[in-house]
Amino acid sequence: MKTLFKNPVVRFLISIFLLYLGWYCIYNLWLHPNETTDHFVVDVTITISKFILQSLGYVVFTGVDRVIGVDGTGGLWIGDNCNGIVLFAQFSGFIIAYPGNWKKKLIYIPTGIILIELMNVFRIVALAILDTHSRAWTEFNHTYTFTIIIYGFIFLMWMYWVNTQSVQSSKFKVS
């Protein structure tokens, strides 16, 4: 059994599982019911998205509860599943669990979270613009296109970490 825990892949998978379990408990038992964190992230996303849309010349409305849109559309409602918090946790958990210098991790994790938030803002801006043309396009791109883009972006950030910033053993190198 001791040799099993010496395997870096097993240690990584156990670390990921424990981090996920911890995150799941903290988020579902405290953060999500409290709603403060979710509302803060959504408010930041809406504020930045509104600024960008207005800078592009669109007349923008925001609703009382998580709504942003271009005048003449029904707008977008940003739910908890789309605010990016779970993506922040997934990204951070992977970086924490993967071997590497802790000083670099303490820089890379917040940088990654900011980049994920900016990608989410890009997604909201694009969806709001698409909504001016077709609600069906908005729904399709929300469900498929942007899911692939966001997860692909996070995967690339993970691969960047694995291949350039982490301490790698020859058994755990990802090419």
Measuring CA to CA, which residue among 52, 53, 74, 55 is closest to residue 63?
74
Averaged over 20-33, what is the pLDDT?
A: 90
- 3, pLDDT greater than 90: no
Residue 168 is predicted with a pLDDT of 58
Longest CA–CA separation in the chain, Å: 64
Structure confidence at residue 60 (pLDDT): 97
Tens digit of pLDDT for each residue in 107-131? 999 999 999 999 999 999 999 999 9
Q: What predicted TM-score, i.e. pTM, was given to this entire model?
A: 0.88
pLDDT in tens, 127-167: 999 999 999 999 999 999 999 999 999 999 999 999 987 76
pLDDT tops 70 at residue 45: yes
Classify residue 34 as exposed, middle or buried by CB count within 10 Å of its CB (0-12, 13-18, 19+): exposed
The pLDDT score that the predictor gives to residue 172 is 52
Angstrom CA distances, 130 to 69, 83, 111, 133, 156, stand at 10, 19, 28, 5, 26
For range 6-26, the mean pLDDT: 91
- The single-letter DSSP state of residue 164 is I
Domain ranges in the chain are: 8-167
Note the pLDDT tens digit of each residue in 70-81: 999 999 999 988
Q: Are 149 and 123 in contact (CB under 8 A)?
A: yes
**Contacting residues for 59 by C-beta, under 8 A, at least 6 apart:** 70, 71
Q: How many CB atoms lie within 10 A of CB 147?
A: 12
- pLDDT tens column, 48-101: 999 999 999 999 999 878 999 999 999 999 998 899 999 999 999 999 999 889
